[in-house]
Each structure stands twice: as structure tokens, then as C-alpha cells.
């Protein structure tokens, strides 16, 4: 009899450099998904992105990414293109438009 492992993502499956400033043992991939997603989008490797995509799917990733207020431009455009969303749907896009930086290089 073959027993299949549960399809659960563990924080230890992701690259260790994503959580340099916190104890990864305190995170739960399901409950802290928005935080983990932000780290993967901004600092993750392709293998990290593929793990997140495989476990949560584009619909959940896009809906959570729309609520993150501090994604960089590259991440916003990446998710918008893959999910077919408009940039205006992302909080981080509208938030940045409301508060322009003094020196924008």
C-alpha cells in the first residue's frame, strides 16, 4: 500500500535567505501567507515561486498580492501580467501613486 504525503507547504521548503531577519520556525505558510508571498515575490528564487504557485494557485496569489502595500514595481507587474489583473487593483500600486518619493531615481 502506497501512502501519499500531504500536499502542505513548509517554510523549510523555501530558500533560507528569504527569512534572514526572523525565525522561520515561527511562521506558518498558510496563516502567514501574505508575508511569505511578499518575501518570495521580492527576494525569492524561481524554485520558491514555483513552490508557492504549485501549492496555492494563481487566484489566491493574485488576491493576496493585491492586499500587500509594499511590493516593488517588478513584483507588481509580474503578478499583474500572470493573473491578467490591472495595476490599479493592487494596493501597493495605488499607495505609491498617492505618496511619491522626493527623489525618484
pLDDT confidence of residue 53: 94
Cell of 105: 531615481
Q: How far is CA 76 from the centre of its chain?
A: 10
0.85 surpassed by pTM: no
pLDDT confidence of residue 97: 56
pLDDT confidence of residue 79: 94
Is the separation of the CB atoms in 78 and 58 below 8 Å? no
pLDDT confidence of residue 4: 33
Residues of the chain with pLDDT under 50: 1-5
Q: What are all long-range contacts of 40-47, with beta carbons under 8 Å and residues at least 24 apart? A: 40/14, 41/65, 41/71, 41/75, 41/78, 41/79, 42/71, 42/72, 42/75, 43/17, 43/18, 44/14, 44/15, 44/18, 45/15, 47/15
pLDDT confidence of residue 3: 39
Amino acid at each position: 500500500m502506497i501512502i501519499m504525503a500531504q500536499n502542505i507547504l513548509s517554510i523549510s521548503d523555501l530558500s533560507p535567505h528569504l527569512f534572514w531577519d526572523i525565525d522561520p520556525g515561527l511562521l506558518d505558510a498558510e496563516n502567514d501567507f501574505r508575508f511569505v508571498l511578499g518575501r518570495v515575490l521580492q527576494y525569492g528564487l524561481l524554485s520558491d515561486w514555483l513552490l508557492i504557485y504549485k501549492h496555492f494557485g494563481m487566484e489566491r496569489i493574485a488576491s493576496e498580492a493585491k492586499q500587500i502595500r509594499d511590493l516593488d514595481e517588478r513584483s507588481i507587474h509580474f503578478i499583474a501580467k500572470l493573473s491578467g489583473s490591472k495595476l490599479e487593483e493592487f494596493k501597493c500600486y495605488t499607495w505609491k501613486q498617492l505618496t511619491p518619493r522626493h527623489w525618484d531615481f
